[in-house]
Each structure stands twice: as C-alpha cells, then as structure tokens.
C-alpha cells in the first residue's frame, strides 16, 4: 500500500497550473478549473498528480485512464490497481493498493462540535466521545474511520453513518466485512484507511511526502 501526501501553496498556485494542467485531459482540466477557490482547484490538481506519480513510481504505469463507477467511485481502467483520494484544509492524500480501499483525512478542528454530528453516530460512539479526555481527537478518530469505510465500500454517503459501528477496527456493512487502520500523516490531522481485504491490517504502508517539481 502506497500513501502519498502533499500540502497546497498559494505562492505556487499559478506555476502549478501552468506546468501541470496541460498534461491532463480536457475533462480533467475543466473539473479542476471549475472551482472558484484556488485552494479547491489546487487540491484537485494535486490529488491527480499524486495518483500519477504513485502509479508511475511504484507500479510502473506511465499512462493511466480513470473512470467513474455507477456508485460515483473513481477507478483505474485496465489495471488491477485501486486508489482513493482525500483532502482536508491544506493537505491532500492519495492511497494506492492492489485491492479496493478507502482513505479519509480530516483536520482536527477544535471549532467543530461533536454534538452537531450526534445524529450520525451510534449511541455507543457518542458516549465514547462524550466521556473522552480529548473529545475533539476522539470525534475525528471516529469520523475518519467511518468515512474511510464508506469510501472503501463505494456507496458513499448513501450509507448513513449511524447504521454501523467500528469495533476493534472491524465492521460490517450489508453483510460485507471491512477492516480499518490508522495512518499518521500529520500531527494536526487524523487519517484512516479501510478495505474489505484483510491485508490492509498488516501490510506495510509506504508513506511519502510528494513535492511537485516547479
């Protein structure tokens, strides 16, 4: 499992667009440029760059075409390699493996109140967070675990978060078993990966910071 991450930069934004945007398809360019905020455009661009770099460097895939499944989950055409991308605040991360997986990353924002998300938790999850000495940390650990699972499943937010619970890094959705695992990216963020393949529990994750060449 390969995990690549990078951080956005206002100073480098125009240079990044000028250098890397022409290399993408017209559809990809339109998707990147449709964002009004430079932060969102750059997060989208860098997510695609992370995927390209990871495939080329670790899987010897120089050119790859992505598609969208009926459930809106992106996939890699013509290769048995899977990926998932997530971003939060100033950081974007891409996970690549030889089995389906999901990754989620969230900035540990102290302004977020876990009470606002009570309706998306099970009663036990809310109690665990409410009784924790570090409620913010516990909430984001819970949230990123569950987000990673529904991204690995592929159905996204059509699966209510309060309909399943992760116990000892395992859970079941619609009869399918999923496994989760924490990955450390940055001290200000929480991140988890998830998969229905048990390999994700023990496989060594190669975590690398990526800096785009200017």
What are the tens digits of pLDDT across the range 97-111? 999 999 999 999 999
Residue 81, domain CATH: 3.90.470.20
> Residue 31's pLDDT is what?
93
169: alpha, beta or left? (left if phi > 0; alpha if psi -120 to 50): left
Domain span at 113: 2-209
What tens digit of pLDDT does each residue of 115-142 get? 999 999 999 999 999 999 999 999 999 9
The residue behind tokens 């009926």 is 70
What is the Cα gyration radius of the chain?
17
pLDDT band of 145, cuts 50, 70, 90 = very high
The pLDDT, as a whole number, for residue 142 is: 97
Count of CB atoms situated within 10 Å of the CB of 117? 17
- If you average pLDDT over residues 41-63, what whole number do you get? 96
**Predicted confidence band of residue 65 (pLDDT cuts 50, 70, 90):** confident
Residue 104 belongs to a domain? yes
Q: How confident is the model at residue 70 (pLDDT cuts 50, 70, 90)?
A: confident
What's the total number of domains in the chain?
1
Residue 117 included in any domain: yes
* Phi/psi of residue 62, nearest 5 degrees: -80, -40
Per the structure block, which two tokens stand in for 51? 């995927």
Lowest mean pLDDT among 70-74, 138-142, 179-183, 200-204: 70-74
Residue at 144 is within a domain: yes
Cβ-based neighbour number of residue 145 at 10 Å: 24
Task: Please give the pLDDT value at position 42.
Answer: 97
Nearest to 42 by CA among 67, 83, 10, 65: 10
Tell me: pLDDT of 2 over 70: yes
In a domain, 214, yes or no: no
**pTM attached to this predicted model:** 0.94
Question: How big is the CA angle at 149 (ends 209 and 63), to the nearest 5 degrees?
Answer: 50
89 lies in some domain: yes
Query: Per-residue DSSP letters for 89-109?
Result: TTEEEEEEESS--EEEEEE--
User: Which run of H or of E encompasses 154?
Assistant: none
The answer to whether residue 157 scores a pLDDT higher than 80 is no
How confident is the model at residue 144, as a pLDDT? 97
Domain membership flag for residue 165? yes
Distance (Å, rounded) from C-alpha 144 to C-alpha 182? 9
| Residue ranges in 34-74 assigned as alpha helix (H) | 38-59
Average predicted confidence (pLDDT) for the chain? 94
Rounded-to-integer distance, Cα 169 and Cα 177, Å: 11
């Amino acid at each position: 499992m390969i995990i690549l991450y990078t951080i956005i930069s206002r100073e480098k934004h125009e240079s990044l667009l000028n250098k890397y945007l022409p290399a993408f398809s017209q559809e990809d360019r339109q998707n990147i440029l449709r964002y009004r905020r430079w932060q969102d455009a750059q997060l989208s661009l860098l997510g695609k760059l992370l995927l390209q770099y990871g495939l080329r460097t670790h899987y010897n895939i120089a050119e790859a075409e992505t598609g969208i499944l009926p459930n809106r989950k992106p996939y890699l055409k013509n290769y048995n390699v899977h990926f998932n991308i997530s971003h939060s605040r100033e950081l974007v991360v891409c996970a690549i493996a030889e089995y389906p997986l999901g990754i989620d990353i969230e900035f540990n924002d102290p302004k977020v109140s876990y009470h606002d998300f009570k309706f998306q938790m099970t009663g036990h999850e809310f109690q665990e967070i409410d009784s924790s000495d570090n409620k913010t940390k516990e909430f984001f650990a819970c949230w990123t675990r569950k987000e990673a699972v529904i991204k690995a499943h592929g159905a996204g937010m059509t699966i209510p978060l309060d309909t399943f619970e992760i116990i000892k890094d395992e859970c079941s959705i619609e009869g399918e078993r999923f496994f989760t695992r924490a990955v450390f990216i940055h001290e200000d963020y929480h991140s988890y990966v998830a998969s229905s393949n048990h390999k994700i529990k023990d496989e060594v994750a190669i975590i690398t910071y990526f800096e785009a060449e200017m």
